[in-house]
Amino acid sequence: MKKGILSAVAFILALTAFSAYLLLDTFVIARDGDAIVSMGDLTFPTRETSGNEPSGTSGEATLPDGWEENFTDEAVWTDDSYTDKNISVKITEYRRHDTTIYVADVRLSSVEYLKTALAKGKYGSNIKQKTSEMAKNNDAIIAINGDYYGARRAGFVIRQGVLYRESAADEREALSIFVDGSFSVVDEESSSARELLAAGAYNVLSFGPSLIVDGKVTVGERDEVDQSMANNPRTAIAYVEPLHYLLVVSDGRTSESKGLKLYQMADFLRELGATVAYNLDGGGSSTMYFGGKVINNPTTNGKKISEREVSDIVYVGYR
């Protein structure tokens, strides 16, 4: 009898230890990863042209009339804007659904200034930093949190023309940002990360779902990440037209800001003219950095305003 009890206790202890190890391995133990393959030297259209042909094609078209009026010869900062000869950022604060939403309207002379960065400059599991720290390390003008790839074991990861992870996530859409400046949403299970890289995708984010494709909202009023119906802080990125993008963060989980549902975010971005929009990691991760500081109110539970450490950021800048 005692032997049976001891065996059962030993089994429970072993199972507990194994479960604890899996949790530590998933969320705590940091491990560097290796690149699988690189695109090599990235080539982007010049400031006189921007591709608005389908992704991966060689077609180029002139910039919209008056496009140069968005830029200034010298760098000019204000409390809510930045302009220079290649980058224009305008921050606008909106109020929808009892929620504060921060929108960075970004116009570029080339998509090469829309970048991504990894925590501590490394790819791997459980390598994390605050969005503001990564932004400062890369001299970002504007930055938002990315897809927090490190919290999952699958999902395409391509950053700055380097493929790090090619395992597809089940039932997940990925966002491809191509060197011609275009956005494309793909189903990972029916796609190949290597083929996307070869077609000119230099950044691929894996979180989702898509919010808008071809100008049409792609989520329903009851759709939600992991089927949660709660209103939440959100982060999204959107394409309006060639070299015109939106970086968006909404607050949530506080008495001042309720938070948004996916459909509410999608409908708002459609109102702003987005033709492609994609949901990034939200909740406590949702952070926007501009002008050397965090400008929204990131929170995990509403009790404390503080940044969560994450795996990566999307930003605009030169480094």
Considering the domain architecture, whether residues 5 and 128 belong to the same structural domain is answered as no
Considering the domain architecture, whether residues 113 and 174 belong to the same structural domain is answered as yes
Considering the domain architecture, whether residues 152 and 12 belong to the same structural domain is answered as no
In the chain, the number of structural domains is 2
* Nearest partner of 313 among 296, 288, 291, judged by Cα: 288
What phi-psi label fits residue 97: left (phi over 0), alpha (psi between -120 and 50 degrees) or beta? left
Considering the domain architecture, whether residues 210 and 258 belong to the same structural domain is answered as yes
Q: How confident is the model at residue 12 (pLDDT cuts 50, 70, 90)?
A: low
The residue segments making up the domain with residue 143 are: 33-316
> Tens of pLDDT along 108-157?
999 999 999 999 999 999 999 999 999 999 999 999 999 999 999 999 99
Please check the confidence at residue 17 and state whether its pLDDT lies above 70.
no
Considering the domain architecture, whether residues 17 and 39 belong to the same structural domain is answered as no
Considering the domain architecture, whether residues 3 and 60 belong to the same structural domain is answered as no
The pLDDT value given to residue 54: 34
245 close to 288: Cβ distance less than 8 angstroms: no
Q: Is 26 helix (H, G, I), strand (E, B) or coil?
A: helix
Q: Give the mean model confidence (pLDDT) for residues 274-294.
A: 97
Considering the domain architecture, whether residues 140 and 271 belong to the same structural domain is answered as yes
Q: How confident is the model at residue 14 (pLDDT cuts 50, 70, 90)?
A: very low
Kindly report the average pLDDT of the chain as a whole number.
Answer: 88
Considering the domain architecture, whether residues 47 and 123 belong to the same structural domain is answered as yes
Considering the domain architecture, whether residues 27 and 67 belong to the same structural domain is answered as no
d(CA 26, CA 60): 43
The pLDDT value given to residue 65: 77
**77: phi then psi, degrees, rounded to nearest 5:** -105, 140
Considering the domain architecture, whether residues 250 and 270 belong to the same structural domain is answered as yes
Question: What type of residue is 81?
Answer: S
Considering the domain architecture, whether residues 9 and 142 belong to the same structural domain is answered as no
**158: phi then psi, degrees, rounded to nearest 5:** -125, 125
The pLDDT value given to residue 214: 97
> Tens of pLDDT along 179-197?
999 999 999 999 999 999 9
Considering the domain architecture, whether residues 128 and 165 belong to the same structural domain is answered as yes
